[in-house]
Amino acid sequence: MRLSRLVRLCLFLLVLAAATFTYSAMTFARFTETYTGSDSALVARWNFSARGQDDEAFYNKGFTFDLFNGQTVKPMDHGGKYFIFTGGGSDTAIDYDVRMNVADLGFLTTYGITTAAQADIYAPFIFKITAEIPGAGPYVFTPGGSVDGWFRPKDILDGSAGVDVDAEGYFSILCGRFPVGSDEQVRVTVSWQWNTSFYIRDIDDYAAVQPNTAYDADKACMLYYQAAYDTYYGPGGLQDQRNAAAQAVSAFLAEHGGPSPDGAWLHYYPCEADHGAADNTCPEEPHEIPCPLNENDGHFTEYNRLAGIENAAIRACETSLLKAYDGYDTAAMNELVSKESVKVMFRIVGNQVRPEG
């Protein structure tokens, strides 16, 4: 019931996270240039390596990092995974640079998400990158426009986050240096959400919406959506108001009938006064009395007033935040599932640091 819309959204999105692990193309070439002719450089220990949360061993080429667990992703899903990399006791210091690629999660299409609002639709994911680095405090990647570290791929891709993106679409999320011989490990955690509250505010009609990353474990729902849902379906909410307004129109028509073909809207009630009472001035024979609304086209006035309330209630439903979220998510998912694959990629680059002296 609460998430009934997910039943309607029967298409599922497969989002893949691939990780590429590289070390510098300069590896050893630079090193050997320093130590001309020295074969010892070629056997220098180089063990810069990484492993994903699901790996048991460290690898120095690719490693497993399936951010989305190989599962389909649907609106309001969320999750996270970590990977770990290490200098592995290498014989040189290592400058590392962890890079991310979200090029697949940019602009998708333009779509009318409600009867009122046209919107530019983006893949409504947000990410948060945190890291545990030995000897340093907690690290959070905080590009411009991020909220508590949560950032939108859109802002990276369009430059508004102030992050440099290379020609392949990679940008740096963490850099640092392992000292010579270090076997320290850095753990990078990637958290993600399908969170349309971070995107809907770009649309004028919904500019007041505050991004909210909170998850309601009891209701198994993102709070931002739950709030919109309650506004719509909760007691006294938009749906109740619409039903009450429709009921008021029906009740009015049931009581007062409708206009006759000549355009007049007049009717009469049987007189239900106590005709035996001493102060009754009614005639003795059975008779009817006019509806008070017979005066001055009163039926039309009242009908139009009630119909106006119903129309406003219908419009409030059609332009509600809930409908906007559902419209946005549906449009985004339809675009995403039409793609062959949607990838979020990571690349860990390690550059040997030229030994001093």
C-alpha 213/C-alpha 223 separation (Å) is: 7
Q: Specify the residue, 221 or 266, whose C-beta has the smaller distance to Zn ion.
A: 266
In the complex, the smallest distance separating the C-beta of residue 337 from Zn ion, rounded to whole angstroms, is: 55
CB 309 within 8 A of CB 248: yes
In the complex, the smallest distance separating the C-beta of residue 227 from Zn ion, rounded to whole angstroms, is: 42
In the complex, the smallest distance separating the C-beta of residue 287 from Zn ion, rounded to whole angstroms, is: 6
Q: Please, what is the end-to-end C-alpha distance for the chain in angstroms?
A: 70
C-alpha 171/C-alpha 161 separation (Å) is: 11
Pick from 98, 97, 86: nearest CA to 186: 86
Q: Specify the residue, 220 or 273, whose C-beta has the smaller distance to Zn ion.
A: 273
Q: Specify the residue, 177 or 287, whose C-beta has the smaller distance to Zn ion.
A: 287
In the complex, the smallest distance separating the C-beta of residue 211 from Zn ion, rounded to whole angstroms, is: 51
Q: Specify the residue, 136 or 271, whose C-beta has the smaller distance to Zn ion.
A: 271
In the complex, the smallest distance separating the C-beta of residue 257 from Zn ion, rounded to whole angstroms, is: 7
Q: Contact residues for Zn ion (CB under 5 A)?
A: 256, 271, 273, 282, 291, 293
Q: Specify the residue, 9 or 291, whose C-beta has the smaller distance to Zn ion.
A: 291
In the complex, the smallest distance separating the C-beta of residue 283 from Zn ion, rounded to whole angstroms, is: 7
Q: Specify the residue, 81 or 299, whose C-beta has the smaller distance to Zn ion.
A: 299
Q: Specify the residue, 145 or 259, whose C-beta has the smaller distance to Zn ion.
A: 259
In the complex, the smallest distance separating the C-beta of residue 303 from Zn ion, rounded to whole angstroms, is: 10
C-alpha 124/C-alpha 122 separation (Å) is: 6
Q: Specify the residue, 18 or 291, whose C-beta has the smaller distance to Zn ion.
A: 291
User: Residue 356 corresponds to which tokens in the numbers above?
Assistant: 């001093």
In the complex, the smallest distance separating the C-beta of residue 288 from Zn ion, rounded to whole angstroms, is: 8
User: Residue 10 corresponds to which tokens in the numbers above?
Assistant: 């029967």
